[in-house]
Amino acid sequence: MYLYARLFGIFTYWLLVIFIGIGMTRLEKREISKVLLICNAFLFIMAYFYEVTYTDDLYRLLPIMHQISSYSVPELINTMKLQNYPVLYAFYYIVGKFGRDGLLPAVTSLITYTFSFKVLSQSAKKNSADMTSIAVAFYIFMARGFFVIGITNVRSIIVVSLFAYMVYSELIEEKSVKWHIPLYIIVALFHYMGTLLVFVRLFFLALECLQGKKTILGLVMIISIVFLIGYNSVYTSNFLSHMNGYIDSAGTGEGYDYIFERIIGILQLIISIYILYQANKLVDQNIEESPYHRYFSFSKMIVSIDVILFFVEYTAFLRINWLISILTMPLFIFLLSNTDEEEKEINKSNVLIIGTVMFLLESSRGYLCSLKYFL
């Protein structure tokens, strides 16, 4: 169905990725942010003109946005008070006020790739990476192809990209967590996946405190997490009910699943595990205080969670897989920037082979193959 429309859509995505990738190799390092800005602009336009079909989540989200944007401010506030994820309703309200349906997927794309590309550009700058290495990292990230499922699902991809950027900033750039507290609140109150990720981040912070000289603080944090999960508040109960609903559906075979995206997700895991394995040698050679030790540990934990979720619940596995594709970029840049030329070329070739297979599968049988601008 829609064969020519989909072929055209996939062609534009491939053309953009290849054009930007090749362009990176021919430009100066200082121009990397400009190139990624151009790519982000094109993705914004592509998302704006995306043609929605009845099978998309976006198909049912647009009427919700229409209804919410018709509220007065007092009505919006009262509605938000009754919702588990009030920030999402505020987002729908603001975007919906512009009166253009195409802005919902377009703004989603803009937010997602702004934070994702920030991770790429900042890690490239920190490691003084050459443009070819940056181009390869960009290609592998775009090959995961969550563009369509991201702009049609809206909620999950926004929290995943924002969360990835905060983790990178805190663990690699060593920014203080306290400056991100308002953003963590937004993430937790935007979608259930955001709530889950915030719990994971708190757990990792607690483990770091226990392993360091802040044992009491670590214990307090773990007790607080257990209390939050165990306390019978409406918000926590609804969150756990949401999660249990997904797991129960998966257990009975009634939940949503898609075998080809599972395979693509496995390929992403293979790439990430390969990079983690190779980078581990370099991380061990650095001093213990190196920020990459912390980032490496967190990435291993996230990959382990995704492997477990593969056998438990598909949608959570898919969303964490998107997160992994963003978190992998700094480790890949770090790996390519700290190995000799021969080993660098071997790592590039190995990852490019798997990444290209993933890109081809995503384009032919994954969610990316539904990219279209006309019916």
Confidence (pLDDT) at 65: 96
Number of C-alpha atoms within 13 angstroms, CB side, residue 143?
Answer: 26
- Closest by CA position to 14, among listed 50, 58, 46: 46
DSSP class of 31: G
Would you say how long the chain is, in residues?
375
Cα three-residue angle 242-141-47, rounded to 5 degrees: 70
Q: Name the one residue in this structure whose structure tokens are 């929290």.
A: 159
Confidence (pLDDT) at 213: 59
SS3 state of residue 103: helix
Q: Name the one residue in this structure whose structure tokens are 């075979």.
A: 253
Rounded-to-10 torsion of CA 34, 36, 38, 43 = -160
| pTM metric for this prediction | 0.91
Q: Which helix (H) or strand (E) holds 189?
A: none
Confidence (pLDDT) at 210: 74
Rounded-to-10 torsion of CA 280, 317, 266, 282 = -10
Distances (CA, A) of 149 to 92, 305, 318, 319: 18, 21, 10, 10
- Taking the alpha carbons of 198, 200, 205, 210 in that order, is the dihedral positive or negative? positive
Residue 330 maps to a domain: yes
Distance CA 54, CA 42 (A): 25
Residue 244 maps to a domain: yes
Residue 132 maps to a domain: yes
Residue 91 maps to a domain: yes
348 touches 141 (CB < 8 A): no
Range of the domain at 162: 3-370
Tokens read off for 222: 């773990």
Residue 375 maps to a domain: no
Angle at which helices 181-188 and 155-171 cross, to 10°: 150
Distance CA 210, CA 140 (A): 36
Confidence (pLDDT) at 177: 85
159 touches 193 (CB < 8 A): yes
Confidence (pLDDT) at 232: 46
Residue 236 maps to a domain: yes
Q: pLDDT tens digits, the chain, 375 residues: what are they? A: 577 888 899 999 999 999 999 999 888 878 899 999 999 999 999 999 999 988 889 999 999 999 999 999 999 999 998 888 899 999 999 999 999 999 999 999 999 999 999 999 999 999 989 999 999 999 999 999 889 999 999 989 999 999 999 999 999 998 988 888 889 989 988 988 888 898 899 888 888 777 765 666 566 666 666 655 555 455 555 555 655 555 555 555 555 688 999 999 999 999 999 999 998 877 666 645 577 888 999 999 999 999 999 998 888 899 999 999 999 999 999 999 988 889 999 999 999 999 999 999 999 988 898 898 876
153 touches 57 (CB < 8 A): yes
DSSP class of 190: T
357 touches 351 (CB < 8 A): no
Confidence (pLDDT) at 55: 85
Tokens read off for 190: 């935007």
Confidence (pLDDT) at 253: 55
Q: Please state the domain count of the chain.
A: 1
SS3 state of residue 49: coil
Confidence (pLDDT) at 237: 57
